[in-house]
């Protein structure tokens, strides 16, 4: 963990896209929760940046309305929290707005007689990233006062690029403008409580370790099912589709945790190195292999959604059978499956073990030992195992050993994913963030699917009825 000593120093949060969806759904609540827990620096201000013609009061009224509607905790604290928030109106693409912001922040530092820490959160559509980060740099906003004083950090949300080349270009631009320790690439799945537990579960329990390879594992499946349709996000979704929306990032990140080797030390660098290595081991498919190992679908009515092209061939469901080239996992099917309009909301990783090599028992009709690592709708780890049924004969039945996070930790408060991320950004801990190596390896794996599906167009795109679709076998 770095820079913990600077944690409590005066800090300014600048949020680009303060009136956008991400702030409404995630960032506002997380900042407020940190505030209530007194985990924000004692002296802090939030500058919201957006195109709307607002002033401070109008922005506060807008945010207050969200807080009231979503019923945040302790309403008596709403106004005290909002008094830390200010507004800057401007176009993300015009440098003058950034210069204006720099003047404002300069005045704050002067008032505080202190060079404050500054955090720039890009809660904006990724197409504006290149121009925005350039403007941040040109205006001097991201220049720390000195190596020891007033750190500056830039936070970007996925998707990082739309393919390998654009991700690489973005990465090169970031590397030119900022130091790696200033860049925080968010994949909020990494901050989910149960996802953070995977390393503890895999490497803190010796009984799993000898079995974690192709000799014992039959398959690993990562599933992210969502009942919701694309809703108001049609315009965004129709440019990416399910695979790039959640497969390229959240799901591959989960898979990496299940495939990776034990890191040498529990440090961000070592953990990311191992995750990235696991991702680079994924077999890259030819067009024919894509056709043989992947399936995609689109829910009925998708092309009538707002913002979606009338003849769109974008997938809202996919199922892929991938493989790793790592000697420990060669030949083990790695299944990635996700969709909108599914029969249930469920995110899980399922590791199915092989049957025992001995033929002592008649287990053919029984469920293999299976580990369910459930992330949504609630956090739970369970293991199906076989045990003898009481009586004279040797009949085996499947049973479950399980650990339900919420039941077990009923009285403990769970930390929300964005709360954990923001807290770590302030502390300067990059463990829960994605490295550029991981992102590029993810794109390398994904690209053959996107290219092949683009060429195939409507061919092989299966329609399904949203609502009770359980995926394909
Ligand atoms: C986002 C995707 O990154 O992740 C959404 O853009 C998806 O389409 C969401 O619904 C899923 O995240 P969570 O935390 O709700 O499981």
Convert the pLDDT of each residue in 442-459 to its tens digit: 999 999 999 999 999 999
Q: Looking at residue 5, what is its pLDDT?
A: 43
Q: Is the dihedral of CA 49, 54, 55, 56 positive or negative?
A: negative
pTM (2 decimals)? 0.92
Cis amide prior to 377 (ω within 30 degrees): yes
- Is 250 a residue of the active site? yes
Residue with CA at minimum distance from ligand 1 atom 8: 245
The pLDDT score that the predictor gives to residue 4 is 44
The two tokens of residue 355 are 């049957």
In this prediction, residue 408 has a pLDDT band, given cuts at 50, 70 and 90, of confident
Measure 245 CA to ligand 1 centroid, in angstroms: 8
Cis peptide before 24 (omega within 30 of 0): no
Nearest protein CA to atom 6 of ligand 1, as residue: 245
Q: Which pLDDT value is given to residue 153?
A: 97
Nearest ligand 1 atom to alpha carbon 417: 14
Q: Are 158 and 187 in contact (CB under 8 A)?
A: yes
Going from the Cα of 140 to the center of ligand 1, the distance in angstroms, rounded, reads 34
Nearest atom in ligand 1 to 230's CA: 8
391 pLDDT higher than 70: yes
Looking at the chain, the whole-number percentage of residues with pLDDT higher than 90 is: 82
Strand order from edge to edge, sheet including 317-322: 396-404, 380-388, 370-376, 346-353, 217-225, 334-339, 317-322, 294-299, 461-464
Looking at residue 2, its pLDDT comes to 39
> Can you give the pLDDT at residue 3?
40
Cα(2)–Cα(181) distance, integer angstroms: 9
The residue whose C-alpha atom lies closest to atom 9 belonging to ligand 1 is: 246
Q: What is the mean pLDDT of residues 393-413?
A: 86
Q: What is the pLDDT of residues 272-304, one digit of tens each?
A: 999 999 999 999 999 999 999 999 999 999 999
Ligand 1 pocket, residue 348 CB under 6 Å:
no
* Residues 73-101 pLDDT 10s: 999 999 999 999 999 999 999 999 999 99
Does residue 365 carry a pLDDT above 90?
A: no
The set of long-range contacts for 424-427, using a CB threshold of 8 Å and a minimum separation of 24, is: 424/191, 425/119, 425/153, 425/155, 425/184, 426/7, 426/11, 426/39, 426/40, 426/41, 426/117, 426/119, 427/1, 427/3, 427/4, 427/7
Give the position, in ligand 1's atom list, of the atom nearest the Cα of 192.
Answer: 14
223 CA → ligand 1 middle, Å: 13
pLDDT at 357 over 90: no
Tokens of 41: 């620096």
Q: How confident is the model at residue 30 (pLDDT cuts 50, 70, 90)?
A: very high
Residue with CA nearest ligand 1 atom 13? 189
pLDDT band at residue 7 using 50, 70 and 90 as cut-offs = low
Tell the residue number behind the tokens 């061919």, with chain if given: 459
Percentage of residues in the chain having pLDDT higher than 70: 98
Dig out the tokens for 403 from the structure.
């650990």
Spacing, Cα 433 to ligand 1 middle (Å): 16
Task: From 349, 347, 346, 321, select the one nearest 335 (Cα to Cα).
Answer: 321
**pLDDT surpassing 80 at residue 352:** yes
Please tell me if the CB atom of residue 376 comes closer than 6 angstroms to any atom of ligand 1.
yes
What distance in angstroms lies between residue 206's CA and the mean position of ligand 1's atoms? 33
Catalytic residue among 137, 250, 378, 411: 250
Residues facing 462 on adjacent strands: 297
Cβ atoms of 126 and 240 closer than 8 Å = no
Tell me: the pLDDT tens digits for 190-208?
999 889 899 999 999 999 9
Ligand 1 geometric centre to CA of 26 (Å)? 11
CA 455 to centroid of ligand 1, rounded, Å: 27
- Ligand 1 pocket test, pick from 235, 239, 244, 245 with the greatest ligand atom count within 8 Å of Cβ, gives 245
Other C-beta atoms closer than 10 Å to the C-beta of 242 total 25
Q: Which residues neighbour 239 within 8 Å (Cβ) at sequence distance 6 or greater?
A: 162, 314
CA distance 86 to 173: 29
Q: Is 133 in the pocket of ligand 1 (CB under 6 A)?
A: no
Range with lowest mean pLDDT among 44-58, 251-265, 398-412, 419-433? 398-412
Determine whether the shortest distance from the Cβ of 226 to ligand 1 is under 6 A. yes
Tokens for 178, please give them.
């900022």
Whether the CB of 202 sits within 6 Å of ligand 1: no
Average pLDDT for 358-381: 85
**pLDDT at residue 1 is higher than 50:** no
Q: How does DSSP classify residue 340?
A: S
Write out the two tokens for 144: 């720390």
* CA dihedral for 351, 246, 443, 293, sign (positive or negative): positive
DSSP 109-154: HHHHTS--EEEEEE-S-GGGHHHHHHHHHHTTTT--SBTTB--EEE
Q: What is the mean pLDDT of the chain?
A: 93
- Given the CA of residue 188, which atom of ligand 1 is nearest to it? 14
Residue 394's pLDDT band (boundaries 50, 70, 90)?
Answer: confident
């Amino acid at each position: 963990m770095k820079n913990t000593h600077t944690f409590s120093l005066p800090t300014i949060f600048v949020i680009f896209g303060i009136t956008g969806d991400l702030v409404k759904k995630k960032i506002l609540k997380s900042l407020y929760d940190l505030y209530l827990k007194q985990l924000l620096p004692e002296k802090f201000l939030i500058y919201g940046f957006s195109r709307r013609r607002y002033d401070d009061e109008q922005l506060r009224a807008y945010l207050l309305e969200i807080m009231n509607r979503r019923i945040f905790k302790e309403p008596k604290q709403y106004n005290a929290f909002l008094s830390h928030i200010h507004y800057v109106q401007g176009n993300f693409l015009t440098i003058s707005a950034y210069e204006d912001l720099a003047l404002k922040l300069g005045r704050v530092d002067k008032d505080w007689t202190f060079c404050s820490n500054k955090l720039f959160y890009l809660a904006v559509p990724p197409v504006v990233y290149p121009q925005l980060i350039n403007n941040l740099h040109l205006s001097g906003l991201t220049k720390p006062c000195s190596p020891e004083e007033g750190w500056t950090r830039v936070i970007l949300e996925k998707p990082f690029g739309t393919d390998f080349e654009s991700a690489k270009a973005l990465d090169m631009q970031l590397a030119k403008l900022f130091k790696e320790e200033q860049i925080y690439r968010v994949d909020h799945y990494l901050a989910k409580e149960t996802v953070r537990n995977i390393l503890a579960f895999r490497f803190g329990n010796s009984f799993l370790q000898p079995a974690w390879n192709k000799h014992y594992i039959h398959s690993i499946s990562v599933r992210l099912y969502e009942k919701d349709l694309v809703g108001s996000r049609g315009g965004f979704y129709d440019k990416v589709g399910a695979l790039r929306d959640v497969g390229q990032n959240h799901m591959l990140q989960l898979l990496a945790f299940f495939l990776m080797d034990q890191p040498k030390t529990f440090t961000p660098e070592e953990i990311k190195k191992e995750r990235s290595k696991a991702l680079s081991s994924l077999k890259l498919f030819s067009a024919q292999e894509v056709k043989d190992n992947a399936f995609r679908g689109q829910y009925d009515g998708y092309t009538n959604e707002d913002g979606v092209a009338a003849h769109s061939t974008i997938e809202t469901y996919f199922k892929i059978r991938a493989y790793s080239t790592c000697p420990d996992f060669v030949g083990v099917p790695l299944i990635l499956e996700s969709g909108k309009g599914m029969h249930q909301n469920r995110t899980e990783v399922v590791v199915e073990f092989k049957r025992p090599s001995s033929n002592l028992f008649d287990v053919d009709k029984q469920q293999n030992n299976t580990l369910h690592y459930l992330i949504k709708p609630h956090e739970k780890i369970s293991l199906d195992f076989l045990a003898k049924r009481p009586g004279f004969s040797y009949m085996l039945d499947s049973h479950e050993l399980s650990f339900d996070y919420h039941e077990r930790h009923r009285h403990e408060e769970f930390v929300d994913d964005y709360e954990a991320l923001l807290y770590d950004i302030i502390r300067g801990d990059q463990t829960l963030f994605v490295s550029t190596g991981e992102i590029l390896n993810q794109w390398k794996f994904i690209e053959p699917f996107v290219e092949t599906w683009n060429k195939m167009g409507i061919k092989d795109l299966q329609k399904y009825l949203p609502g009770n679709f359980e995926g394909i076998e």
